[in-house]
Amino acid sequence: MHTHCPSCRLRFEVEPGFFIGAMYISYAMSLGIFFSVSGAIYLAFNNPEFYYYVIGIPLVVLILLPVMFRYSRVIFLHLFGGVKPDTGDSTFI
């Protein structure tokens, strides 16, 4: 991860260990994925055997782990880092 934003020079890590709090956001995302995937497996396979859940849920979480890692840090930075998006002519995804 960059220490500063390449375009606006914003320092991302406010203090050492700042992003440890992002673990809680990542945990909430994991719970959402857990319930969504388990519901999808239940509906798609008509309440299958237990090992479908044991294999399916961790597989989806592992596939989405890079996305969860990135966006949990972004959400945490916006909530607690004092970052406000520029409402000018720049675009945000």
Owning domain of residue 70: 19-80
Say whether pLDDT at 7 is over 70: yes
Tens digits of residue pLDDT in 77-91: 888 877 766 655 444
CA-to-CA distance for 40 and 56, rounded, in angstroms? 10
Per-residue pLDDT band at 27 (split at 50, 70, 90)? very high
Helices and strands (DSSP H and E) totals, the chain: 2, 0
64 in a structural domain = yes
- Signed CA dihedral, 13, 15, 20, 21: sign only: negative
Comparing 12 with 38, which gets the higher pLDDT?
A: 38
What pLDDT, on the 0 to 100 scale, is given for residue 90? 45
Count of the separate structural domains present in the chain: 1
Of residues 91 and 1, more confidently modeled: 1
% of residues, the chain, pLDDT over 90: 54
Does 27 map to a domain? yes
**pTM, 2 dp:** 0.74
Residue 46 in domain: yes
Whether 12 maps to a domain, the answer reads no
Asked if residues 83 and 10 have their Cβ atoms less than 8 Å apart, the reply is yes
In-domain check, residue 43? yes
